[in-house]
Amino acid sequence: MKRCLVLIAVLVSSAVFAAEQPPRQVAPATVTMQFPEAFGEMQRPAVEFDHKAHTEALEAEGCEACHRIDDKGVLIPLLKSGLEIDNRDDLIDAFHDSCMGCHRERLEETLPAGPMTCGECHVRRQPGVSVRAEMAFDYSLHARHAKAFEDKCENCHHVYDEGTEELKYEKGKEEGCRSCHGAVDEERKLSLANASHRACISCHLRRIRSELESGPMLCAGCHDLKQRNAIERLEDVPRLVRGQADTIWIHGIDAKTATVAFNHLAHEPVTGSCSTCHHQTLKPCDECHTFAGSPEGAGVTMAQAYHRSSSEHSCVGCHAMETARQQCAGCHQVTSQSPADRTCVLCHNGPPPGSSALETAPTAVDPRLDPLPIPSDDYPETAVIEALVDTYEASKLPHAKIVGKLDEMVRESRLAGRFHVDTETLCRGCHHHSPIGTRPPPCRACHSEEADSTRDFPALKVAYHRQCIGCHIVMNIEKQGCTDCHAERSGAEEVQP
């Protein structure tokens, strides 16, 4: 009997430990030491190296305890012993010698040290979820760095000269790091992580040691979401000048349609950084996204690059995302999903390809919007909707007020103004699927009171409510309840208390 009790106790306690736990978060400063795939499967789980713990423990010794600073003053972000070893066993030995060697030394000096046994570093854990935030440069951060370097771009920017096999600076060819540095090391071309760590941290370290104002040196300073968002931002960010024109004609090589006048200057303030549009390189879009598509452009053709509505890098895509804003969503999200066909000419209104007019840059033009009409029979101040009066009184729609508000919001946005040149566009949000003219048809002209069960077409009551309430919801307008729009009829059948 006693044996049974022991067995039960063991089972119960092991089950308690095996009980489901919430997913494990891996801190930004924890480096999972994953060996290259070429080295095959490892016997033990990857070590999760707590960099933060080590920097805190070795504060006195500084970074040089593990890293080395080369003759150019660059902090090499790899274990000083582990660099350039391409042999699996040698690499393992190198790490073991470094880590356990250091721990052993410290233990001999009776200092607090890390583990010495296999299982304490190679801990078998549930897969964790990394909370490391990606670091990105925006205009503000770039401007602050530019100021610190007194606009001397060569301090950070370089290109690789194939001939001399060296890095050098070329004015006018400055790019974002991502244009060359990819996800993994490729022989001498370092990964983005390695390259940026070497460039950024070395410099920050130098400045900190010289007691100058500097960026973060520890992992969390850039990769912890809260700390990253707390980085100081400039109020007025100066324009990032790299020789770009204010306005240009977009005329892709081999493109057939009329060219597009593009106001580059106007677009700069609405992006966070150049890479919002120039997502890979600062070269013009059609250099990689050729007419028929190319490997450099990942097969994305020129037309797709400019027009794909699901991509934030394309013109149409970004504009579509803007229509999801609260001020725009009522018409754009509820009624129409895709741009109407007639909007092509709003952009493609430049000279045809090959024209000599393309040699002069286009003139920037501010949107000029017609004023709204004066209220009349055709454009009523208030529209009384008397159809379907039953439980509620007729609804008094403040027609002119609504259109006036829409007009006000359009005028506030340069983008909206560019596309809403015609006041008719304001009508089309509600008076959809029909020509506008001087007096658009009323809802009941198409939506009958009786439901048409042969097709997916709302009856009049549904049409009214879906249109109005749908718009109010996405625009966060408070009037969403029944009596907000139509008063209850006294003496009507009591449906609710």
Q: Min. distance of Cβ 483 from other proteins in angstroms?
A: 7
Q: What is the DSSP string of 121-181?
A: HS-----EEE-PPPP---HHHHHHHHHHTTT-GGGT--EEETTTTEEE--TT----GGGT-
Q: Residue 247: phi, psi to the nearest 5?
A: -135, 145
Smallest distance from other proteins to CB 274, Å:
28
All residues at 6 or more sequence positions from 476 whose CB lies less than 8 Å from its CB, including other chains:
326
- Given the complex with other proteins, which of 264 and 319 has the nearer CB atom? 319
Please report how close the Cβ of residue 465 comes to other proteins at its closest, in angstroms: 4
The torsion angles phi and psi of 24, rounded to 5 degrees, stand at: -85, 135
Which of 333/423 has CB closer to other proteins?
333
* Contact predicate 488/393, CB 8 Å: yes
Output the DSSP codes for 281-332: -SS-HHHHS-TT--GGGTT--HHHHHH-TT-SSSHHHHHHHHTTSHHHHHHH
Question: What is the closest distance, in whole angstroms, from the C-beta atom of residue 16 to other proteins in the complex?
Answer: 7
**C-alpha span between 28 and 221 (Å, rounded):** 10
Q: Which of 396, 419, 406, 410 is nearest to 315 (CA)?
A: 419
Contact of 262 with 248, CB cutoff 8 Å: yes
The residues near 95 (Cβ < 8 Å, ≥ 6 apart) are 33, 79, 82
**Nearest C-alpha neighbor of 47 from the set 60, 58, 36, 31:** 31
Minimum distance, C-beta of residue 343 to other proteins, in the bound complex (Å): 20
Q: How far is the CB of 460 from other proteins (least distance, A)?
A: 11
In the complex with other proteins, the residue whose CB is nearer, 18 or 345, is: 18
DSSP state letter for 153: G
Long-range contacts of 341-349 (CB under 8 A, 24+ apart): 343/419, 346/418, 346/419, 346/421, 347/260, 347/261, 347/315, 348/257, 348/258, 348/259, 348/260, 349/258, 349/260, 349/261
Task: Report in angstroms how near the CB of residue 146 gets to other proteins at its nearest.
Answer: 37
Cβ proximity to other proteins: between 8 and 123 the closer is: 8
Indicate the residue among 302 and 334 with the shorter CB distance to other proteins: 334
Q: What does the longest C-alpha to C-alpha distance in the chain come to?
A: 101
Within 40-85, strands assigned E span 47-50, 68-69, 75-76
Give the residue with the Cβ less far from other proteins, 130 or 483.
483
In the three-class reduction of DSSP (H, G, I as helix; E, B as strand; rest coil), residue 243 is classed as coil
State which residue, 276 or 309, has the beta carbon closest to other proteins: 309
Tokens standing for residue 56: 């805190």
Choice between 306 and 464, CB closer to other proteins:
464
Shortest CB 469 distance to other proteins, Å: 6
What's the chain's length in residues?
497
Helices (H), 325-481: 326-332, 344-347, 399-412, 414-419, 424-427, 460-474
Q: In terms of CB distance, is 16 or 183 closer to other proteins?
A: 16
Closest distance of CB 463 from other proteins, Å: 8
Minimum Å gap between C-beta 480 and other proteins is 7
Q: Output the six-digit token pair for 300.
A: 């994305």
Q: Which lies closer to other proteins via its Cβ, residue 18 or residue 374?
A: 18
Residues lying near other proteins in the complex (CB under 8 A): 1, 4, 7-8, 11-12, 15-16, 18-20, 337, 451, 453, 456, 458-459, 461-466, 469-470, 473, 480-483, 493-497
Least distance from other proteins to the Cβ atom of residue 132, Å: 23
Show the tokens assigned to 449.
């009171």
Tell the smallest beta-carbon distance from residue 429 to other proteins (Å): 17
Nearer Cβ to other proteins, position 12 or 60? 12
Name the residue nearer to other proteins (CB basis): 360 or 496: 496
